Chains A and B, each alone.
Chain A
Amino acid sequence: MSPILSLSPDEISGLFPGYFRLNREGMIEAVGPVLTRRTRDSFIGRPFMSCVEVTRPRGISTFADLQTCRGQLIIRCPDAAGIVLKGVVLQRDDTIYICAGLSVDVSGQSSGSYRFEDFSMADSTLETFLAADLRRNLLIEAQELATSLTEARNRAEAADKAKSRFLADVSHEIRTPLNGIIGIADVMAHGELSSEQAGRLRLIRSSGRTLERLLNDLLDLAKLENNRLQLEPVRFDLIAEIRDTLGPVEALARVRGLDFIFNLESMSQDHVVADPIRLRQVLSNLGFNAVKFTQKGSISVSVARTGDKVEISITDTGPGLTDDAMSRLFGRFEQADNDVSKRYGGSGLGLTLSREFARLMGGDLTVSSSLGKGSRFTVTLPLPPAPPVMTAPASPPPRGTIRPTAGAGIRGLVVDDNPTNLEILRVMFDAFGIEIDFADGGRAGVEAWEKNRYNLILMDLQMPDMNGLDAVRMVRRLEAGWEPGEERTRILMVSADATEEAIAESLAAGADGHLAKPLRPESLFRAVWSLF
């Protein structure tokens, strides 16, 4: 007898869990545990060939064919949940063994229905099977992690949006009354005042402007934090811009008895493409800081170009900074309570913002200082030279207070739902001798205009019933039906939103100009005069 037949049923089961033992006639005498566990009707006593399908090798259809088969056998067992077995035929004396184990489909889903006993101890089918199962699970785990990360990110973004929205709303709410204070104080400054009153008014105005700057800085910071601050590059003359920006700084320096030195390395014109507004913010912030902390000596500004790089330095002969103070100078949230910021005044965010702007423009802002001697702030920016803009030189904007000779001929309408704004404008227009009517909403505005044919409208952008853009469009549509030769209505849109987008939208709707809040008497009347 050959050794294999002397194995116990348990031992055979361990090696070939899907075995069949057949007698000479091909009747099943015993089966392995995989099969017992899966059939309700026992295989025992039934003819093997009618219980299974031999799928490999091809052409085995009778028990006689099976007995001569020497290759690898693949059989499917419809009566045992369709499992597939793989094995060989061994014939000893009167007994035939189909020595087989599970051939599992590792992509299958039904792994839970298998048991360890279904797998041979002598091969690695179980390992392969578990490996497939565990890998599948790893993928699911990775997906779950990715989903939870995405959700967390979405939540954070939503919170960020809510924060920005809140900031925008709050600053809008603050801006309106603040505009009232500043606007009316500005108008009062044009009137007759005792020197004491004038002094107090100066305080109101400068406090108001400080608050306004703080508000703007906070908004800029919020935009920077959300990566929503967009640069608006245009082509301009760098040298003229620097001179223009630092003009007021120079004036203040001279008043304080300081020397102010421009060192332009014989650069006269240098056209570049960049965001002049942000550049202005950086330079004027550095300039005013320098003046503020320098008791005697000088402020010098130098501009130097090396290839595509421009370096602008502002050097003072002030007290200088300790290493520790320098390291904290640009920190974002530290300023509010450390003494560096107290000394540097303002919102305390100026330097933080300046560095952020410089970096946003692809450059940097650095400081070097020696205690007792002074400090140097250096802005380095990549600003490749650009060809100059080919336009006729614009006439310089009028400076100082504008006193219209007469408001005659202007019949104005102010459309705004906010009573404070209405009041400020009333005071301003009064001061300039222009009579004006009011409407407290878009719809009311259009109606009043139809009735009285005003030739000037100041239209607020955000109003609950009909917004400014729609109201302007309606006015323009109605105008289109007028007799030829009628005087066209001049419309100025008034909005806190002074982005290029907002301005373009106002003009597209049919406005003749766009005024940014807060309104100042000068800018208001310059805009009005330019239309008449």
Chain B
Amino acid sequence: MYGMVHRAARELAILRHGESKWNAIAETAGVSEREFISAEVFTDAVTISIVSAVADADGSPIDRTLLELGRHWIDFAGRSAYSNVMSMAGDTLPDFCRNLDRMHTSIQATMPDAIMPSFEVEAQDEAGLTLIYRSQRTGLETFVQGLLEGLMERFKVEGTVARVDDSHPIRFRLTYKSA
């Protein structure tokens, strides 16, 4: 994965545990880097070992930390270099969700080594929407859950995000009062 994901993970770890603990976390993860460059590509194994080292430090299961990382990514992207892309993607939660796929497709030109996920709004009504998530990776469902919760927060929408049981492809149901 591109280094921007690791930057977000580093920031999350530092926010929670402080700069010096981050050094220990990175060491546990077995990475020599203490800072990451967005444009550099790391293997998924590196990404996973960082997340699990952060989880160790959090004292929680890795899925919990993935969820937090998802939520944190929205905040991180909204503040950082990606804030333009985030605001261009839409002014409302449904608009944004509809643009998620286009966002990743359009970014691919700049980040040719990315293995991009694909998103599709399957159904949408007053009460919510159903989002299909397709990926070449497995095990990132809680990360997506966190991302979507983060998006709800970003658009100040009250509601819930739930994985639709046993659906193939993977679906998330976003239920909200009003968007």
Interface residues of A (CB under 8 A from B): 111-112, 114-116, 121, 124, 126-128, 130-131, 133-135, 137-138, 140-142, 145, 148
Q: Do residues B106 and A114 form an inter-chain contact, with CB atoms below 8 A?
A: no
Q: What is the interface residue range for chain B against chain A?
A: 20 to 34
Report the minimal beta-carbon distance from B67 to chain A, rounded to whole angstroms: 26
Which residue of B38, B39, B88 is within 8 Å of A116 (Cβ)? B88
Q: Which residue of A lies closest to B89 (CB)?
A: A116
- CA distance in complex: A126, B99 (Å): 12
Chain A residues positioned under 8 Å from B83 (CB to CB): 112
User: A115-B91, A126-B106 provided; 17 other pairs, C-beta below 8 A?
Assistant: A115-B88, A115-B89, A115-B90, A116-B89, A116-B99, A116-B103, A116-B106, A121-B102, A127-B109, A130-B109, A131-B109, A133-B84, A134-B82, A134-B111, A135-B110, A138-B81, A141-B37
- A sample of 5 inter-chain contacts (CB < 8 A) reads A111-B88, A127-B109, A130-B109, A134-B110, A138-B37
Q: Do residues B38 and A114 form an inter-chain contact, with CB atoms below 8 A?
A: no
Chain A residues positioned under 8 Å from B80 (CB to CB): 137
Chain A residues positioned under 8 Å from B82 (CB to CB): 134, 137
A112-B84, A141-B81 are contacts. A127–B106 as well, Cβ < 8 Å? yes
- CA distance in complex: A10, B102 (Å): 17
Counting CB contacts under 8 A, is B60 at the interface?
no
Q: Do residues B87 and A116 form an inter-chain contact, with CB atoms below 8 A?
A: no
A130-B107, A134-B107, A137-B81 are contacts. A145–B88 as well, Cβ < 8 Å? no
Chain B residues positioned under 8 Å from A126 (CB to CB): 102, 106
Q: Do residues B39 and A138 form an inter-chain contact, with CB atoms below 8 A?
A: yes
Report the minimal beta-carbon distance from B64 to chain A, rounded to whole angstroms: 29
Q: Do residues B88 and A141 form an inter-chain contact, with CB atoms below 8 A?
A: no
Q: Do residues A130 and B90 form an inter-chain contact, with CB atoms below 8 A?
A: no
Counting CB contacts under 8 A, is B140 at the interface?
no
Chain B residues positioned under 8 Å from A145 (CB to CB): 35, 37
Chain B residues positioned under 8 Å from A115 (CB to CB): 88-91
Chain A residues positioned under 8 Å from B107 (CB to CB): 130, 134
Q: Do residues B103 and A112 form an inter-chain contact, with CB atoms below 8 A?
A: no
- CA distance in complex: A105, B37 (Å): 27
Chain B residues positioned under 8 Å from A137 (CB to CB): 38, 80-82
A138-B38, A141-B37 are contacts. A130–B110 as well, Cβ < 8 Å? yes
Report the minimal beta-carbon distance from A462 to chain B, rounded to whole angstroms: 40
- CA distance in complex: A115, B102 (Å): 12
Q: Which residue of B lies closest to A126 (CB)?
A: B106
- CA distance in complex: A124, B103 (Å): 12
Q: Do residues B106 and A130 form an inter-chain contact, with CB atoms below 8 A?
A: yes
Counting CB contacts under 8 A, is B127 at the interface?
no
